[in-house]
Each structure stands twice: as structure tokens, then as C-alpha cells.
């Protein structure tokens, strides 16, 4: 159960910093041993805002064989084996489709029919299922089961 309450205002007096909470309570955040100046007040307020801000969710990718989920990243054609790869945003991890996998969404196949586009990428959300477990530093093979919100490298929707 999440019992956190957000702050709605921060007030200062001669020796204390007060926080007004959204549930109507007022709480002393800290006692100050000096009279804060304008710069110190701004710095304390800025620190409070950064600490209280919601943290972004960690980027997801499937870690166990058979695990499925949506990942956000860049789909591109690379050189070597497992040429169809998705570089997952917010990580240093890449997943690849098996070379013999024919289950590629039509929107992706039609985009890469033009040979000039082989050097470009598609950004979007991809529903992938891990064919093998995650090993740090290794290319992980997945199957591609769905796509949404696809745009080309110029930002044009597909």
C-alpha cells in the first residue's frame, strides 16, 4: 500500500523549514541554524523538488526464456548474423530476431523493401518474447509478436 503524501508548498521562517502536505498537515522538514538568504532558500527548494520528483521507470526487456513484453527502441538492419536487431532505449542491451524468423509485421517488411532504407532505423514499441535467457554483454534472441507507435528516423509515422 502506498501511503506517501505529496508536498504542496514549502515555507520558511527564521529557524525552520515547513512543508505543507496535500492532506492538510504541516510538517517541519528541518531546523536551520542560520537565517537563510535568497540563494540558500532557492537551493534548498530545488533540492527538495529533485528529491520528491518521481523517478522514471527502469527500461524493461525480457530476461528469462519465454518471457514476453513491450520494449521501446530502435529496429534496424545490421551486418553479420541476426541482422534484424532492436536496440532497447535506456539500456545498452540489444535483442535480435532469428535469421530464419518469417513472422515479421507487414509494416516493417514493406518499409525495408526500398533498398535505400536499409541504412535507416525505425523507432517504436515492439512486443518481444525471449527465445533464450539474458546474458550480460550478449545479443539475446527474441521473436517479434507486435508493434505500435512506429516512426521512421525522420519522425514520420509508419
Strand partners, 88: 73
Per residue in 80-138, pLDDT tens? 888 899 999 988 899 999 988 888 888 888 888 887 777 789 999 999 999 999 998 89
32 exposed, middle or buried (CB, 10 Å; 0-12, 13-18, 19+)? middle
Question: Among 24-28, 100-104, 127-131, 153-157, which is the least confidently predicted range?
Answer: 24-28
Specify the pTM.
Answer: 0.62
pLDDT tens, residue by residue, 30-48: 655 555 566 777 777 767 6
Residue 101, CA distances (Å) to 66, 108, 143 in order: 16, 13, 8
Asked if 95 contacts 133 with a C-beta cutoff of 8 angstroms, the reply is: no
Q: With a cut of 50, say whether residue 1 has pLDDT above it.
A: no
Dist. CA 3–CA 131, nearest whole Å: 39
The rounded mean pLDDT for the chain is 80
Q: How confident is the model at residue 144 (pLDDT cuts 50, 70, 90)?
A: very high
4 or 125, greater pLDDT: 125
Q: Taking residues 53-59, report their average pLDDT.
A: 57
The pLDDT of residue 78: 86
Give the pLDDT mean for 38-66: 70
125 by Cβ neighbours in 10 Å (0-12 / 13-18 / 19+) ranks as: middle
Nearest one of 113, 110, 93, 109 to 101, comparing CA atoms? 109
Q: Where in the chain is the domain with CATH 2.40.50?
A: 68-152
Contact 131, 82 (CB under 8 A): no
Tell me: pLDDT of 50 over 70.
Answer: no
| Percent of the residues in the chain that have a pLDDT greater than 90, as a whole number | 33
Terminal CA-to-CA distance of the chain, rounded, Å?
Answer: 41
Specify the CATH class of 68-152 in words. Answer: mainly beta
Amino acid at each position: 500500500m502506498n501511503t506517501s503524501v505529496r508536498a504542496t508548498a514549502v515555507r520558511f521562517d527564521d529557524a525552520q523549514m515547513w512543508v505543507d502536505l496535500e492532506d492538510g498537515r504541516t510538517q517541519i522538514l528541518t531546523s536551520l541554524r542560520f537565517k537563510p538568504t535568497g540563494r540558500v532558500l532557492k537551493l534548498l527548494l530545488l533540492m527538495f523538488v529533485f528529491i520528491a520528483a518521481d523517478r522514471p521507470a527502469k527500461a524493461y526487456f525480457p530476461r528469462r526464456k519465454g518471457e514476453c513484453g513491450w520494449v521501446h527502441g530502435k529496429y534496424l538492419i545490421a551486418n553479420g548474423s541476426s541482422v534484424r536487431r532492436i536496440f532497447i532505449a535506456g539500456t545498452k542491451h540489444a535483442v535480435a530476431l532469428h535469421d530464419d524468423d518469417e513472422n515479421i509485421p507487414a509494416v516493417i517488411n514493406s518499409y525495408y523493401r526500398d533498398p535505400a532504407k536499409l541504412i535507416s532505423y525505425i523507432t517504436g514499441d515492439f512486443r518481444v518474447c525471449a527465445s533464450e535467457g539474458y546474458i550480460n554483454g550478449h545479443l539475446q534472441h527474441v521473436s517479434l509478436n507486435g508493434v505500435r507507435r512506429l516512426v521512421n528516423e525522420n519522425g514520420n509515422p509508419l
